[in-house]
């Protein structure tokens, strides 16, 4: 692996990605369940939560990456 990839990958990053994937899968499940029930408001709310969690995970990864490159 190259130096750039090696610095970013690590246990905290893998754990964060795993937690994000599990929460997103959980929310996708409920989004489809709400869609089957015909509840548009909950589908939109669940989709918004998925987007917020995705942006949060990316924000943490970027800040972690920046901190490691500064050192």
pLDDT band per the 50, 70, 90 thresholds, residue 66? confident
- Return the pLDDT at 67: 72
| Rounded average pLDDT over 43-65 | 91
- Return the pLDDT at 1: 47
Who wins on pLDDT, 60 or 4? 60
DSSP state of 34: H
Predicted TM-score (pTM) of this structure? 0.74
The answer to whether residues 65 and 7 touch, using CB atoms and an 8 Å cutoff, is yes
pLDDT tens for each residue of 1-38: 455 555 555 777 888 888 989 999 999 999 999 999 99
């Amino acid at each position: 692996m190259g130096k750039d990839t090696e610095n970013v990958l690590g246990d905290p990053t893998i754990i964060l990605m795993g937690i994000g994937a599990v929460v997103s899968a959980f929310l996708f499940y409920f989004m489809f369940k709400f869609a089957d029930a015909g509840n548009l408001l909950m589908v939109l709310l669940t989709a918004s939560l998925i987007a917020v969690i995705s942006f949060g995970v990316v924000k943490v990864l970027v800040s972690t990456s920046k901190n490691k490159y500064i050192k």
